[in-house]
A = this chain, B = another copy of it.
Amino acid sequence: MSISSRFSVGIHILTLIELNKDGVSSSEFLAGSVNTNPAVIRKIMGMLKKAGLIKVQPGIAGAELAKDLSDITLLDVYKAVHVVRDNELFSIHENPNPNCTVGRNIQNTIEPIFFKAQTALEKVLENVTIEDVIKGINEKEK
């Protein structure tokens, strides 16, 4: 089980839009880099647009970032592409037996722990921006 590759594709898209800012970033172009079908890219781009991360117009080729690179965090992307529901990274079994001490308390006891773990993960993502990703790529290209 893993977090959908939609997230990594979303990051790829945003990164490429920036690095191709002097060109036209059509869904076809982006799909070529990601190596997937343009319809997939358009689906994800729709989510990024809805989240206010990019600007695209029907019929007109070329997406643009809607925010500054350094203002787009990986957490923004993660939430934009809906890979994990709020506070639902961990599933907790339902309907434990209320006649049992553990049964009636387990959900409420572990839920805050799971919340804390999910928050720790999301905090790491919140501290990385598309600008950082681009720096990372530039370093690897040297």
Binding site for B on A (CB under 8 A): 1-5, 7-9, 11-12, 15-16, 19, 32-36, 74, 83-85, 88-93, 95-97, 100-103, 105-110, 113-114, 116-118, 120-125, 128, 133, 136-137, 140-141
Contact B9 A93 (CB under 8 A): yes
Known: A16-B102, A19-B101. A93 touches B34 (CB 8 A): yes
* Chain B residues, Cβ within 8 Å of A7: 90-91
Count of identical protomers in the assembly: 2
Q: Quick one: which of B35, B110, B116 contacts A8, CB cutoff 8 A? A: B110
Question: In the complex, how many angstroms separate the beta carbon of A17 from the nearest chain B beta carbon?
Answer: 10
Q: Quick one: which of B88, B93, B97, B121 contacts A121, CB cutoff 8 A? A: B121
* Chain B residues, Cβ within 8 Å of A110: 8, 11, 133, 136
* Chain B residues, Cβ within 8 Å of A136: 105, 109-110
Contact A84 B1 (CB under 8 A): yes
Contact B83 A1 (CB under 8 A): yes
Known: A117-B121, A120-B124. A106 touches B11 (CB 8 A): yes
Question: In the complex, how many angstroms separate the beta carbon of A3 from the nearest chain B beta carbon?
Answer: 5
Question: In the complex, how many angstroms separate the beta carbon of A49 from the nearest chain B beta carbon?
Answer: 20
Contact B102 A33 (CB under 8 A): yes
Distance of A114 Cα from B83 Cα, bound (Å): 14
Question: In the complex, how many angstroms separate the beta carbon of A125 from the nearest chain B beta carbon?
Answer: 6
